[in-house]
Amino acid sequence: MSSASTDTLAERFEESRGHLRAVAYRMLGSIGEAEDAVQETWLRLQRTDTSTIENLAGWLTTVTGRICLDALRSRKSRAEEPLDTHVPDPLITSPDAPDPEQQALQADSVGLALLIVLDSLAPAERLAFVLHDMFAVPFDDIAPIVERTPAATRQLASRARRRVQGAPAPETDIARQRVVVDAFLSAAREGDFERLVAVLDPDILLRADGGATGVSRRLQGAHTVASGAIMFQRMTPQNIRFVVVNGTIGLLSLPDGRATSLMAFTITNDRVTELNVVADEERLAALGF
């Protein structure tokens, strides 16, 4: 391949990079693994006779999907961290006038609660749902990746869709979310147990991912979560920062100017329905905090 054609191919690939990163992030829930998958797609493109590719964007999407499917299957076979205490990598931006790069990052994001549901799917189900329902890839193109017929692939996506659609739609307005989180913080700081329970959904689920060296926990129920919320009494305005986490409101805890935890809230009908906590300081540092 000539230098000129290589340069042209690289330009066309860069045009698709954001889209491929979004596909890989939805598939893997890991920013680093998503970037690795996109890079592997570029390497495979360089080794391919591009004269045989009729639709480059479609080819790149399906190749990225195949790479992610292999990664998920490998992850399952190694039986990595338990899914009930693992929180996917968050995409964190400022709520105040994010720059274009931050806006693009949030455009690529889906809620952590949805990513956790996707984590519970079988790899082939996740691929079929992500490619078809999120990126409109036809089942005829997905079927060869999962080595099934188009009809069987449609069934994979249908099963995944039922899991994803099982929960009520969360609140998306950041201002409305902020009102609920402010009420949560006020009740926690004042140690007002009843007010705290009132702002939590009766079936609230809390996941705290401490990482490889920390303590991970999974708590369910308003009274159980509220009982453990005394930790929030130390969260003064001076050591927290409001952020946007995958499109929903979150809090960074910065007691010494360094992030020690990130809380991402899912709010439905003016109550907190999920609280996902990343307490792995190494992960937070890798994300720039």
How large is the average pLDDT for residues 70-83? 73
Q: What is the pLDDT of residue 83?
A: 47
If you write DSSP's letter for every residue of 133-147 in order, what string do you get? IIT---HHHHHHHHT
* pLDDT over 60 at 2, yes or no: no
Dump pLDDT digits (tens) for 180-213.
999 999 998 888 999 999 999 999 999 988 876 6
Q: Across the strands, what pairs with 248?
A: 245
Q: Output the average pLDDT for the chain.
A: 87
CB environment 256-284: b (16+ within 10 A), e (fewer) = eeebebbbbbbbbeebbbbbbbbbbbebb
Q: Which uninterrupted H or E stretch holds 266?
A: strand 261-268
Q: Are 260 and 253 in contact (CB under 8 A)?
A: yes
Least confident of 67-76, 81-90, 140-149, 276-285: 81-90
Give 89's DSSP letter.
P
pTM: 0.86
Q: What is the pLDDT of residue 142?
A: 97
State what percent of residues in the chain have pLDDT above 90.
57
N-terminal to C-terminal alpha carbon distance within the chain: 42
Q: How far is CA 33 from the centre of its chain?
A: 12
How large is the average pLDDT for residues 212-222? 84
How big is the CA angle at 130 (ends 129 and 132), to the nearest 5 degrees? 65
Query: Identity (one letter) of the amino acid at 243?
Result: V
Dump pLDDT digits (tens) for 230-281.
666 666 777 888 999 998 899 998 887 788 889 999 999 999 999 999 988 8
Dump pLDDT digits (tens) for 112-143.
889 999 999 999 999 999 999 999 999 999 99
Q: Is 271 helix (H, G, I), strand (E, B) or coil?
A: strand
Separation of alpha carbons 20 and 58, rounded Å: 10
Residue showing tokens 């935890």: 261
